[in-house]
Structure 1
Amino acid sequence: MRNLKSIALALVIALGTLSATAQTTKKVDAAKSKVLWLAKKVGGQHNGDVALKDGNLVFKGKKLAGGNFTVDMTTINTTDLQGEYKGKLDGHLKSEDFFSVEKFQTATLVFKQIGVKSANTYTVTADLTIKGITAPVTFDIVVNKGVANAKLLVDRTKYDVKYGSKNFGALADKAIDDEFELKVQLKY
């Protein structure tokens, strides 16, 4: 009888441990999520958005354990310009000088390492793929009540986006910063 109680107790503990560490994948609502970009240049800046195609956040219990996302690069959109200038910049960003969207229609981000920074805040190292080139990027993400917010700084030259870079021949007064910023709000 004592053996049976020990076995039953061990089974209850094992099942409790399994359920506490079970992974849950939560689909991100692409239509309600936002990916905003900001690019700076000598004498100014431009900003806009790009559409999230799909994505998932993975949780182990209540802790963030993973994530993967796909962005539709064909939707690159400038929001600080209108008319002819907006059309020209949108077209240039989609061209081979920048993101070559005809050939590379999506960009992806896959979480590789996640560390807890504080309550609901994690430091993520992820593989970012742009133009078929993958490089690591590290950023903080805050996850709380169905919303995740992150700000990423991306060195575009790591993805063969070198147009206007002073490190690749652009004149100093015409240079575009190598880093651009992404502000991401994911709703899941």
Structure 2
Amino acid sequence: MTKFNVDVAHSSLGFEVKHMMISKVKGGFDTFTADIDMNPEDLTSASIKFDIDVNSINSNNADRDNHLKSADFFDAEQFPKMTFVATDIKSEGAGEYKLTGDFTVKGVTKPVTFDVEYGGKGTNPWGVEVVAFEATGKINRKEFGLTWNAALETGGVLVGEDIKIKIELELNPAQ
């Protein structure tokens, strides 16, 4: 197995949630690190751990981001990071995997499964090997203690419960 580093300039960790039950708000976390030891062509024995800086949340709206960092949501002062540690990786064939791990948000740890797709490998203009992966999943925010909401006059709520997560990674072998 080989240790890989995240190429942060070409990677993203994003989310999407329903707003007012009719539209979607998208955002992401600008700062995250990963410890990844793997064979990129067979993830089944990989060791994967992510640390996500909650204060790096970015939904393109400073007021919303500050609210998300507050005790109403992530409580970034008390819980400055989220973590994901892989516990099981199953091949689904042809570069596709089910990646299950312990996801910790706001002090609550629950198992979460992501669909992972191997994007392939190449060599960048500086002669460095690059591999790419995309992972998608979904969590219910209430299961992690993110319960704040507001009722709408027309019925329903301001913030949806299901959060879609999309991770796009470019990785380079550690030097």
TM range (shorter): 0.7 to 0.9
Which residue number in structure 1 is paired with residue 48 of structure 2? 67
**Residues 122, 52 of structure 1: alpha-carbon distance in 2 compared, 3 angstrom cutoff:** farther
Distance 2:53 2:17 in 1: 18
Structure with the bigger percentage of helix:
1
When normalised by structure 2's length, the TM-score is 0.81
Aligned to 1:110: 85
Range that drifts further, 44-53 or 136-145: 44-53
Q: What code does the residue aligned with 2:106 have?
A: K
State the Cα deviation string for residues 56-82 of structure 1 (Å, max 9, x = none).
322247311231111111011113xxx
Q: Matched residue of 1:173: which SS?
A: coil
2:28 to 35, 42, 49: 49
Q: Using CA pairs below 8 Å that are at least 6 residues apart, which structure has the higher relative contact order?
A: 2
| In structure 2, C-alpha distance between the alignment counterparts of 1:61 and 1:152, rounded to whole Å | 20
Quote the residue 1:19 is aligned against: none
Larger mean Cα displacement after TM superposition, 53-62 or 116-125 = 53-62
Give the 3 Å change call, closer, same or farther, for CA 112–44 of structure 1 in structure 2.
Answer: same
For 1:116 and 1:92, the matched residues in 2 are separated by 39
Q: What is the RMSD of the two structures over their aligned residues, measured on CA atoms?
A: 1.8
Task: Please name the residue that 2:138 is paired with.
Answer: 153
The structural deviation recorded for 1:43 is 2.8
Change (3 A) 1:95 1:61: closer
Larger deviation, residues 28-37 vs 107-116: 28-37
Aligned residues of 2:41 and 2:95 also touching (Cα < 8 A): no
Q: Secondary structure at the match of 1:92?
A: helix
Q: 1:30 corresponds to which letter in structure 2?
A: V
Aligned partners of 2:140 and 2:73: how far apart in 1? 13
Aligned residue type for 2:79: F
Larger radius of gyration: 1
Following TM superposition, the consecutive aligned residue runs of length 4 or more in structure 1 with deviations greater than 4 angstroms are none
Q: Distance in 2 between matches of 1:179 and 1:135?
A: 15
Q: Does 1:28 align with 2:9?
A: no
Write the letter of the residue equivalent to 1:161.
L
Shift of 1:92: 0.9
Counterpart residue number, 2:109:
134
Q: Which amino acid aligns with 2:75?
A: S
Q: Which residue of 2 is the match for residue 76 of structure 1?
A: 57
* Cα distance in 1 between the residues matched to 2:156 and 2:107: 30
Contact 1:39–1:180 (Cα < 8 Å) also in 2: yes
Secondary structure of 1:158's counterpart equals helix
Percent of aligned pairs sharing the same letter? 29
* 1:139 Cα deviation from its structure 2 partner: 1.4
> What TM-score results when the alignment is normalised by the length of structure 1?
0.76
